[in-house]
Amino acid sequence: MTSLAGIAQIVDEAARTATPIPQLTDSQPSLTVDDAYAIQALSVARRRARGERRAGFKMGLTSRAKMAQVGVSEVVWGRLTDAMRLEEGAVLHRARYVHPRVEPEVAYILKKPLEGDVSAAEALAAVEAVAPAMEIIDSRYRCFKFALPDVIADNSSSSGFYVGGWAPATSDVANLGILMEVDGRPVQVGSTAAILGNPIRSLVAAARLVAKAGERLEAGDIVLAGGATAAYPLTPGQFVQTTFQSLGRLSFHVEA
Amino acid sequence: MTTLQEAATQAAIREAADRLHAAAANGTPTGPIRDLLREGDVDAAYAVQRINTERALAAGRRLVGRKTGLTSVAVQRQLGVNQPDYGMLFADMARPEGLDVAIADVLQPKAEAEIAFVLGRDLDGEQLTVADLFRAVEYAVPAIEIVGSRVAGWDIRITDTIADNASSGLYVLGSRPTRLTDFDPRLCGMVMEKKGEPVSVGAGAACLGSPLTAILWLAKVMARVGLPMRAGDTILSGALGPMVAVEAGDVFDVRIDGLGSVRAAFA
């Protein structure tokens, strides 16, 4: 069996060079979820060694429908670095990804650390501001096909994110309508309520799950709470714009 | 068309209407009626619906509004059409919030979350604009439509559902009306929960881009077919998220941001 560090190098190189790889679980069916989080930590450590800085965390599989698709009952998480932050309104280069998709999200930024089992009220008290966001997800596995340990090892498909204008932490984001358009045509319609019924629950889960890995959410961290609709595939030439009820809109262009 | 052909068509329309009426009256679904009509003959399907509307009115049922259906692009694609459809709402289809809805009252029920609009003035004309609509809508209220089908197994194509009063069943209106100026019809978020679990989520834009577009389409069509929308009418404008199957014992809570909530409990 390849060492965890060896696997971390494989997934990190796949992401760095936008080269698809076979599923890890094909050749190593005994890979566990704990192994996968260890691989994720080692692979992100490689990014840090190249100079990337910590930016926060992302949550995934935050709807029952997605959990059912993968056959799990728990959300997953990944790590964000500053190199994944994309400039809102600017160009996304398709060639830097394997098969990128976009999904609308809610972003929190923290003013205080959060660690372990916290209540929704405690989580909210640690929030500095909330913003509309879009995440670029890009599985490094061929055909976007993976088992749970594969996706976790692959940093939960995280590859980029856009954050719109920040609104006060007290903004009610429990059930905001979302309209995602490509070239002015609707491609996804949904609500932030799709994120575990209320996105704040995702922040609570983030504090608990990250603590299980011996880390904590820090002041200044951004937490992407999870996709609010199905993800939409990106191709060059698209203009993608997502409008959130009362939070405003954000957009980007896709080029080759 | 020869007189003979026309007579045959009229007889087929009458037969389709009778079968759907009997299915509702007996509580037993019928097979699809589409084979009685020419494929995709929407006009004939509305003629079937109209026969049963006249029958309902003759029986003393009170016409209280309309519904628009097929307002989602995805559902239109499934049925191979590119426009919505409409059906009639009668007073005996309304159920008050807070009392159990008897599941036996509708065949093959499914639930949809919608915005209902109630008119304060007539909305009658084929040349209406959205500005006329702003003036005519008195208020909006969250609603749960319990659609049903008199066609066995929901085996419907476009003509089946139109003939079957747009698969309408029952509806529950929320208890707190809101003015059009006080919420965002296009971007309002919607979540329908069953035991606290989101089972359908969406937003106003899922209904033809905006529910206002749906009711404007409806008002113009109603004027054209001689059943114009009147002050006091209720309009169920179309689903904001996917429909969900209903079983006895289920309780659905719908929240629409800015509009409040509505609940339907089934027994």
CB contact under 8 A, A245 and B257: yes
Residue identified by tokens 């702003």 is B134
Q: Which amino acid is at B124?
A: D
Those residues with Cβ within 8 angstroms of residue B226's Cβ, 6 or more apart along the chain or in another chain: none
Give the best residue of B199, B257, B261 to mutate against chain A (max A CB count within 10 A). Answer: B257
pLDDT tens digits, B104-147:
999 999 999 999 999 999 999 999 999 999 999 999 999 999 99
Please give the pLDDT value at position B167: 97
Mean pLDDT score across all residues of chain A: 95
Contacts of B262 in chain A (CB under 8 A): none
Residue identified by tokens 């994120």 is A195
pLDDT tens digits, A165-197:
999 999 999 999 999 999 999 999 999 999 999
Comparing CB atoms, the residue among B191, B193, B205 nearest residue A189 is B205
pLDDT tens digits, B187-225:
999 999 998 889 999 999 999 999 999 999 999 999 999
ipTM: 0.89
Q: Identify the residue with better confidence: B3 or B223.
A: B223
Q: Give the global pTM.
A: 0.93
* Percentage of chain B exceeding pLDDT 70: 100
In this structure, what CATH number is given to the domain that contains residue A146?
Answer: 3.90.850.10
Contacts of A198 in chain B (CB under 8 A): none
Structural domain boundaries, residue A39:
4-255
Q: How many domains are contained in chain A?
A: 1
pLDDT, average across residues B151-161:
96
CB contact under 8 A, B204 and A176: no
pLDDT, average across residues B244-261:
97
Contacts of B184 in chain A (CB under 8 A): 177, 245-246
Reading the block at residue B68, the tokens are 């628009």
Q: pLDDT band for position A162 (50/70/90)? A: very high
Reading the block at residue B193, the tokens are 């929960």
CB contact under 8 A, B197 and A190: no
Residue A56 confidence (pLDDT) above 90: yes
pLDDT tens digits, A66-101:
887 777 888 999 999 999 999 999 899 999 999 999
Domain boundaries, chain B: 64-265
* Percentage of chain B exceeding pLDDT 90: 93
How many interface pairs between A and B have CB atoms less than 8 angstroms apart?
Answer: 74
CB contact under 8 A, A177 and B205: yes
Residue A199 confidence (pLDDT) above 90: yes
CB contact under 8 A, B198 and A177: no
Superfamily for B64-265? Fumarylacetoacetase-like, C-terminal domain (3.90.850.10)
Give the best residue of A189, A201, A242, A246 to mutate against chain B (max B CB count within 10 A). Answer: A189
Please give the pLDDT value at position A1: 59
Give the best residue of B75, B187, B240, B254 to mutate against chain A (max A CB count within 10 A). Answer: B187
